[in-house]
A and B are shown apart, each in its own frame.
Chain A
């Protein structure tokens, strides 16, 4: 019994596990209140609308791991959406998707150039990028509209026993599991933990950050492409909600904004939680404004639990691994923080 509690306690110190629990709670709540239960159609429409947030949040997470910020996600998503329904609507759809992603990577690389080489604060640079891209989107497409190819719509929402969006999410999660074990995956966390140590170990911090911003830019563009297929139209204000939602997803997913730790799986679950909450609240008849209050409270709760568990974890570690005193004999580092 006590070992079961011990296991649960240990699991709860893991941000991804907490995110999974929160997600499961809301998923079950939605399923139980939905009249007639959930069906493939409902799941599919929910997943398709969640997908852009999931993908964009993964991008932001990769940047956060390196202890940086990226506010440009919403801008790239919008800009890609507008590009897809205007300039890129006449060419082969797959070529268009590739071009869109290349543009996203280029925007990320440009951000990184200013931040890494120019040593400018990431918040300022990416905020500027966000505003510029939103402006450009409005110039290109002043009023909502545009044309979306059926091929693209089919590819994302297509009729299938298993929703394609779900398949894509699983693929992204698997890609993360592999990526985490690559050199870049390891360096990404290391840079967030201690830049100086990474530099002294002979690895270029600039290159790692450059890669993280660029990959993130590509993911934002992919999110924009998927969003275009989901709403089947173009709209120069469509991405604005992603600015805050991506960070909300990361917070619920248990990744610390201070970098160096966390998980993309947590972010995926966090993003799905954010989109399932409105579904649940809608079926029990709660209005849209209350949803926001609810989401805000949930974010605070998630961050609070995360903070508490890291603190207890640190305390546990200190007790578990007695630090050797310079004199040689180990000392008991039982922590008594002054009068606190």
Chain B
């Protein structure tokens, strides 16, 4: 019996399409898996079903009735409950208060602590969580305990439709969650189970859907589950782009310009070591949340790290802030993930955005020489394929591609030789992508050491000299030459151990130390 039917959900953010056609059927008493790459639209679909966002088009029918979209309350009343990937607990409240937040027991208006704690204890025991004291502050619990709380909160009382978004991201194993999901399904619930881990999907789900580019592109059944077929549908091939080839061979003898030694960032990045030579583009692959962002931001001096060392040339880099990182040796700079929020000054012109790093050089008696500023910005802009007529416009009104070219022009003017490119082609059109690729090639040809992260694996393969794959904060694969194939990258990214013949010997002092 179908309890939930999603038809043609569409969600766009400006010119970026997050969801093109979300269509899905959930059946009572079944676990439905949902898989897809980063940015495939899974989270957007979950948010739409939970009432966190208003879709542009589409319908959701629950139990024969159309659900009002964009309202948390309507979703709840329709019987949809979600355990979110970004946990929704309140760290400064107790476990008990978190579990019963919307229905705190009161007497004469005052919350009855004893009863609250007793009820919370009962609730935890119902889900055989015995190691969490309801009186503790939620924020003081280890992540795995917080994740179980988030799940218990969604499962109790049992909803008609339970959505679990990456529920095992912080859990040490799957026994607990699988047991309870199966029990919930046995009692008639419909479960939507989202995970990067195909092994989990195969073990738990009765059927499932594969998402790519905001669409459901394929379905699978439990008894006919084929890992490789699912992976190939997940990756597909979005847009064919010709990647500009490397013009000169990489000098194999040159000393590395960037050397990262056993970098640890809390639990996100675990002893990552890598080296990038001048002229080299080192690709980093990984599904969302595997530590890539923490790694890039730590090297850029934008976030603190726990331990490890970073060298530029022979000298240790000073990473207390992006400014000191830029001043370390040949200079480190980051092209950040969120262009609009972290990359541009939206209400300033393209010229102003580009000239930021050289303002001191441009000023005389504290005043900025406008003509020279424009000339320099124009030159840097042209080298990055930015058309002259955009220079005087406010960057916030330019397309994503032109915003990115503006950022790249500024990056070039900063003079830094270690470039950390975090998904530089996200949400820009194919023509602009090609121009970004050309810029990367010419920066590398000029001796820059480039660390490139991208959510698009073909892009990494087309641009990188080698590719490191991150999984749970560790480098699990180091691929070069013929090994740089989509299937290889994707298998490593979803946590499949490489087949023995495929694993490469790694020379000491090479890019990685694969922790096996």
Contacts and interface: CB of A to CB of B under 8 A. Distances in A.
Are A and B a genuine interacting pair, yes or no?
Answer: yes
B109 A183 contact: yes
A183 B110 CA distance: 7
B311 interface: no
Contact of A335 (B111, B298, B306): B306
B251 to A, nearest CB: 31
B143 A326 contact: yes
Interface stretch (A3-11, A46-54, A197-205): A197-205
B92 A183 contact: no
B110 A181 contact: yes
B305 A186 contact: no
A78 B341 CA distance: 42
A287 interface: no
B104 A183 contact: yes
Contacts of A339: 318-320, 324
A201 B111 contact: no
A327 B270 contact: yes
Given A199-B72, A202-B102, A326-B170, A186 B110 contact: no
B445 interface: no
Contacts of B321: 338, 340
Interface in B72-122: 72-73, 76, 84, 88-93, 97-98, 101-102, 104, 106, 109-111, 113
A331 interface: yes
B446 interface: no
Given A197-B90, A339-B319, A182 B472 contact: no
A201 B320 contact: no
Given A190-B101, A324-B170, A339-B318, A317 B84 contact: no
Interface in A176-214: 178, 181-183, 186, 189-190, 193-194, 196-203
A197 B88 contact: yes
A337 interface: yes
Contacts of A337: 304-305, 320
B301 interface: yes
Given A197-B88, A336-B307, A323 B93 contact: no
Contacts of A200: 50, 52, 72, 84, 88
A182 B305 contact: no
A325 interface: yes
A333 B266 CA distance: 6
Given A190-B93, A337-B304, A203 B142 contact: no
A321 B146 CA distance: 13
B140 A194 contact: no
Contact of A182 (B97, B111, B139, B141): B111
A203 B110 CA distance: 17
A201 B306 contact: no
Contacts of B91: 193-194
Nearest to A332: B306
Nearest to A204: B73
Listed residue (A201, A261, A328, A336) with the most chain B CB atoms within 10 angstroms of its CB: A201
Contacts of A323: 142-143, 266-267
A84 B274 CA distance: 74
B301 A186 contact: no
A71 B245 CA distance: 61
A142 interface: no
Contact of A338 (B76, B266, B319): B319
Contact of A181 (B111, B267, B301, B305): B111
A193 B91 CA distance: 8
A330 B142 contact: yes
B468 to A, nearest CB: 18
A159 interface: no
Listed residue (A321, A325, A330, A331) with the most chain B CB atoms within 10 angstroms of its CB: A325
Chain B contact-residue range equals: 35 or more
Chain A contact-residue range equals: 35 or more
A324 B109 contact: no
B144 interface: yes
Contact of B140 (A321, A327, A340): A321
Contact of A321 (B89, B101, B141): B141
Contacts of A201: 88, 90, 98, 101-102, 153
A182 B97 CA distance: 12
Contacts of B173: 328
A262 to B, nearest CB: 11
B473 interface: yes
Contact of B106 (A182, A197, A203, A326): A182
A21 B73 CA distance: 46
Contacts of A322: 142
A182 B319 contact: no
B304 A193 contact: no
Interface in A285-340: 317, 320-328, 330-331, 333-340
A183 B304 contact: no
Contacts of A199: 72
B6 interface: no
A271 B206 CA distance: 64
A186 B139 CA distance: 16
B64 interface: no
Contacts of A186: 93, 97, 104, 111
B172 interface: yes
Nearest to B100: A201
Contacts of B153: 201
Nearest to A320: B140
Interface in A112-134: none
Nearest to B136: A321
A260 interface: yes
Contacts of A193: 90-93
A324 B266 CA distance: 10
A185 B173 CA distance: 38
A183 B97 CA distance: 10
B305 A326 contact: no
Contact of A203 (B89, B92, B102, B141): B102
B90 A338 contact: no
B330 interface: no
A85 to B, nearest CB: 35
A331 B92 contact: no
Listed residue (A317, A322, A340) with the most chain B CB atoms within 10 angstroms of its CB: A340
B169 interface: yes
B92 A261 contact: yes
Contacts of B141: 321
Contacts of B76: 202
B72 A183 contact: no
A336 B267 contact: no
Contacts of A190: 90, 92-93, 101
Interface in A144-192: 178, 181-183, 186, 189-190
B90 A333 contact: no
Contacts of A194: 90-91
A333 to B, nearest CB: 6
A198 B267 contact: no
A86 B41 CA distance: 63
Given A335-B304, A336-B307, A338-B319, A183 B140 contact: no
5 contacts: A181-B110, A183-B109, A193-B91, A200-B52, A324-B143
Given A326-B267, A336-B305, 20 more contacts: A181-B110, A183-B109, A186-B104, A190-B101, A197-B89, A197-B90, A200-B72, A201-B101, A201-B153, A202-B102, A321-B141, A331-B266, A333-B266, A333-B267, A336-B304, A337-B304, A337-B305, A338-B298, A339-B318, A339-B324
